[in-house]
Amino acid sequence: MRVGLIGFFALVWAQSAWATTPVVPELVSVPVPDAVPVPVAVPVPVALPVPVVVPIPIPVPQRASATTGTVADRVVAVVNDEVILLSEVYAFDTYIDEAAGASPEPAVGRAAAEREVVDRILQQRLIAQEVSRLHIEVTDQEVDRNIDDIAGRNGLERAQLKAEVEKEMTWSEYRSELSKGLQEMKFGQSVLRPRINITEDELKDAFIRMTQDDPQVAHVLAIFMSWPVGEDDAGREALRAKAARVALEASSGDFGAASRLYDEASFGEAGGEMGRFKAGELVGALDVAVQKTPTGAVSEPVETPQGIFLLKIAERTAGDTDFESLRPKLEEAVFQSRLEEEQVRWFEQARRAAAIRILR
C-alpha cells in the first residue's frame, strides 16, 4: 500500500476546527474509529487531532494481472453516475490482507473487508457530491495558508515539506488533496454542525461517565466535643447522649449554626468547615464514617480517643474537579460523539437518496 509520508500529511480534521480555522494534520499514524486503518511510520510524533472525515489515501497504481501483466481494473460500484474502481478498493490492500489473515475463514474476512472499504469510499464520494451541489469552494489562498500551517507545526520550511511530499506524489496532487480536505471541513460546518444541539442533561451524563472511576472527594463539615477529663464513665455516657441530641438537631437544621454552638475545636468558627478529603486521607473511624455517610446527611457520632465527632457530607465531587470546571471538556466530548452520529445519520440518508449500484 502506498502510504509513507503521504499518510503523515493526509488531511485529517478535528471537530473543534470546524469554526473557522482548519486544523493541520500531524506527523503520526492516523487511528480512525470504525474506519479502515492506515499504518504509517512515525518520524516526528506530535499530538493527533481527532478525525472527522475518513481520509482516503492516494490509490496505489493499478494492479497488473498475474497472468498477462496487464492492468486488471474494473468498475465495482456506481454512485450517481460516478464510478468506483477496483484499484481504489485495493488502495487498502494491506488492511484487506490483514482482515483476511485474522479471520478463521479468510475468504469471508476478505469479502467483508472489501465491502467495508467500498462503503467508506461511497461515503467520501457522497460527501464530495454534496460539496459540489452546495458550491463549497476552496481558494488557492486557503490551501497556501494550510500548507504553511502544516509546515510550521512540523518544524519545516515550505521547501522542505514539498521535498518530502514529492517523494510520494506530485505537489499539484498534494494541493488537490488538501483542497478536498478543506472542502470536507466546510461540509461539516455547513451540513453537520447545525444539526447538533447539546443539552445540559447530555453534559451531566457525560460528567458521570467521565468521572465514575475517579476518586471521590468529600466536602466535610464537623462538630467536635471532647471527652470529659479523667476516667469518668458517667461523664462519657453523658457526652454520648449529648452527641446524639446534637446530631438530631444538626440533621434537621443548620449544621453550621449547630457547629458554632456546640463545637469545642476550631470547626465552629468556620461554620463547621473541616475540609475536602479523598478516601483514606482521614484516620480510622473518621474515614469510615465519611465513606458510608450519604451526601447531605449527618453521620452517627464517631468516637475517637480525643472525643466525639459529628460529620456532615456537604457534597461529593470526582477527583479535584467539579462539573463546571470540566464543562469545556464535556462539551467537546459530547460534541465529537454527536458529530460522529450525525455523520453516520447523514450518510445513511444520503445513501438512501442516491442512485447506487454495487457491481461486485
Q: pLDDT tens digits for 71-93?
A: 467 898 899 989 998 888 888 88
Q: Where in the chain are the domains?
A: 4-200+338-358, 216-318
**Whole-number pLDDT of residue 87:** 86
Tens digits of per-residue pLDDT, 46-75? 222 333 333 333 333 333 333 334 446 789
**216-318 carries CATH number 3.50.50.60:** no
Q: Is the pTM value of this prediction over 0.75?
A: no
Q: Are strands 75-79 and 82-85 parallel, antiparallel or unpaired?
A: antiparallel
300 contacts: CB under 8 Å, gap ≥ 6: 247, 289
The CATH number fitting domain 4-200+338-358, selected from 3.10.580.10, 1.10.4030.10, 1.10.10.10, 3.40.640.10: 1.10.4030.10
Report the Cα 263 to chain-centroid distance in Å: 47
For the cut 70, the answer to whether the pLDDT of residue 9 exceeds it is: no
Helix (H) or strand (E) holding 85: strand 82-85
State the average pLDDT over residues 269-276: 92
Query: Could you give the angle at which helices 158-165 and 171-187 cross, rounded to 10 degrees?
Result: 100
pLDDT number for residue 280: 85
Q: Do domains 4-200+338-358 and 216-318 have the same CATH topology?
A: no
The per-residue pLDDT for 220 is 95
| Residue 10 predicted with pLDDT over 90 | no
Sign of CA dihedral 176, 177, 180, 182: negative
Computed over its alpha carbons, how large is the radius of gyration of the chain?
32
**What residues are paired with 275 via a beta bridge?**
220
> What average pLDDT does range 190-208 have in this prediction?
89
Q: 98-125: per-residue pLDDT in tens?
A: 988 999 999 999 999 988 888 888 988 8
d(CA 237, CA 166): 88
Looking at residue 51, what is its pLDDT? 31
Say if residue 196's pLDDT is above 60. Answer: yes
Q: Identity (one letter) of the amino acid at 191?
A: V
Q: How confident is the model at residue 33 (pLDDT cuts 50, 70, 90)?
A: very low
Residues 6+ apart with CB under 8 A from 253: none
Strand order across the beta sheet in which 356-358 lies? 82-85, 75-79, 356-358
